[in-house]
Chain A
Amino acid sequence: MPPILQGEKVSKNFDGVQALVEVDLTIEAGEIFGLIGPNGAGKTTFFNVVTGMDVASSGRITLGSQEITKRKPYAITKLGVARTFQNIRLFHQMTVLQNAMIGQHCRSECGLVRSTFRTPGQRREEGVIREKALKALDFVGLAGLADHRADSLPYGEQRRLEIARALATEPTLLLLDEPAAGMNPQETRRLMALIDRIRASGLTIFLIEHDMKVVMGICDRIMVLNFGQKIAEGSPGQIQKDPRVIEAYLGVED
């Protein structure tokens, strides 16, 4: 089976600032793969390039057997890549359920005419969308809050809603951008259990995180970026002992 995600010499330039420098990456299906590095290392930029929100300056990105380097973001989502955002990006004036239903946008097709006139086919499709959205909410434990406005939720639940919304797109690869940020230890433990359940349901997970307990606790393999370059890759045990990683985070002793 081909690796689910492959990056070959992926580079990204922003007006002279080299955000990513020839990064190679292979993620196997069913893995929980971690991406760590100091602030500004290029981690979110890498996510943006994989999901099509930024276009790679050079290099190739392949999803399964398909090249996705120059594809539009909505096409990549449809191919099975979903993400959450570092700064929570919920649809704040919409309800929890509506947020999750947006996830089903790429899995449904009724457009202007069928929506305006509420054809029987459209009503059926809406029923399916609603059902799948509720399932995603149930998976993360938010089904009871379906009709609440998204911005009325406490922080931890907002993060879980973002995950539910991403799950509702029926992805094969889930990108989580600092899902544990701002969480207390109990919420963090709950999050780690959720990520395990997501992997157990058949998804592959690509995770950016600063909380080392989370990273070392659940990742199968980890890649470390610094100044846009890959400086280390391996198992949690290997990464913890790698001198280059230690130097990147803590500096070198004089």
Chain B
Amino acid sequence: MEAYLAHMLIIIGIYAVITMGQNIILGYTGLFGIAQAAFYGIGAYTSAILALKLGLPFWVGLPAGALAAGLFGWLLGLATMRLGGDYFCIATLGFVVIVQQVLLNWEALTRGAFGLPDIPRPSLWGFSFDTRLSYCLLVWVLVAVLGLLMRNVADSRLGRAFMAIRDNETAALGMGINTFLVKVIAVSLGAVYAGVGGVLYAHYTTYIDPSSFSVMETIIVLCMAVLGGMGSISGSILGAAALIFAPELLRLVGVTGSLSIYRQLLYGIILVAAILTRPRGIMGMAEFRFQALFKGGPWIREI
């Protein structure tokens, strides 16, 4: 039972990080960029290839995967940011398809559809993270750190620039913000988060193949961001938890069968329901106040 719970929490943690990235792009900056699955895949494959081909440890693969994803985010941002809203969205979706195709066909590097097995679990000074519980701890420490860093960005000059662009891009331009540059930074930063998720995923499942980095995956991440709260760090975690648990709850109630079909149906229903009833997601832009646990006061901080 603990193994099952730990497994769920690991998956939720990984998706939470990727969703935080989606929130930086969409929730904070208002860009309808949905390429997280591509950046997630780039992070995963970068770390896996460095581990398998060069024997580099997880602790090198993690920043490498994150930075590789960030670099591609930067390039995608530069290439697509002049496109109008709808076309930008489609272009980012196209990028997911391109990356998946490259992963499938560049067999010399990625072994194509055969995937990369035997990705090692991380180890630190002799201790190996080979139990579910230890890996769960690793994932959630990173969730906490990345959440904290995201909050630092939100409360900073850059974070305000992101939100200004979302709320009124023309005014942002008039107030001295280089909107093109800031938007590209947003996509790149969101990509870094997805890259971290990818590295965590690769070293957990120890086997990756291109089928995991699909358009469906990127839509799932979008659903998590929309449902949880667009522009909320705690919302990212909540959205990930909700959408990972939901199909499990269906299974417990006896709805079995092809998981992917029911999952797709469920996510579609949830997305439409959320947009109709609570377009800014469960949390909107509010955050849980963790200080409430220690010092009391309201649990939720609205803005």
Contact = CB atoms under 8 A, between A and B. Distances in A.
Interface of A: 51, 53, 72-74, 77-78, 82-83, 85, 89-95, 98, 101-106, 108, 110-112, 115-118, 122, 125-126, 129, 149, 165-166, 169
B141 interface: no
B168 A92 contact: yes
B171 A89 contact: yes
17 contacts: A53-B173, A53-B174, A73-B173, A74-B178, A83-B174, A85-B174, A90-B171, A93-B167, A98-B163, A104-B157, A112-B185, A112-B189, A116-B153, A118-B152, A126-B155, A149-B303, A169-B175
B172 A102 contact: yes
Contact of A126 (B157, B164, B185): B157
A125 B160 CA distance: 14
A74 B160 contact: no
Interface residues of B, number: 29
Contacts of A111: 157-158
Contacts of B285: 93
B176 A116 contact: no
A72 B178 contact: yes
Interface of B: 149, 152-153, 155-161, 163-164, 166-168, 170-179, 185, 189, 285, 303
B170, B176, B177, B179 — most chain A CB neighbours (10 Å): B176
Select the residue from A105, A111, A122, A126 with max chain B CB neighbours within 10 A. A105
A115 to B, nearest CB: 3
Contacts of A166: 175
Contact of A98 (B149, B160, B166, B178): B160
Given A74-B177, A103-B176, 18 more contacts: A77-B176, A78-B176, A85-B170, A90-B167, A93-B167, A95-B303, A98-B163, A102-B164, A103-B175, A104-B157, A105-B164, A105-B176, A106-B176, A115-B157, A118-B156, A122-B156, A125-B157, A126-B156
Nearest to B149: A116
Contact of A105 (B170, B177, B185): B177
Given A94-B160, A94-B163, A116-B149, A77 B175 contact: yes
Nearest to A51: B174
B157 A93 contact: no
Contacts of A95: 303
A115 B159 contact: yes
Contacts of A108: 157
A149 B285 CA distance: 12
Contacts of A115: 152-153, 156-159
B173 A101 contact: no
A251 to B, nearest CB: 34
Contacts of B167: 90-94
Contacts of B177: 74, 102, 105-106
Nearest to A165: B175
Contacts of A129: 157
A172 to B, nearest CB: 14
A112 B158 CA distance: 7
B160 A77 contact: no
B293 to A, nearest CB: 22
A108 B171 CA distance: 18
Nearest to A150: B167
B68 to A, nearest CB: 17
Pick the most buried of B160, B173, B174, B303: most chain A CB atoms within 10 A of its CB. Answer: B174
B156 A101 contact: no
B173 A102 contact: no
Contacts of B168: 89-92
Contacts of A82: 174-175
The 10 A-B residue pairs whose C-beta atoms are closest, nearest first, are A106-B176, A115-B156, A77-B176, A89-B171, A91-B167, A115-B158, A73-B173, A89-B168, A74-B176, A74-B178
Contacts of B158: 110-112, 115
Nearest to B178: A74
Contacts of A106: 175-177
Nearest to B167: A91
B189 to A, nearest CB: 7
Contact of B163 (A53, A85, A93, A110): A93
Contacts of A101: 157, 160
Nearest to A106: B176
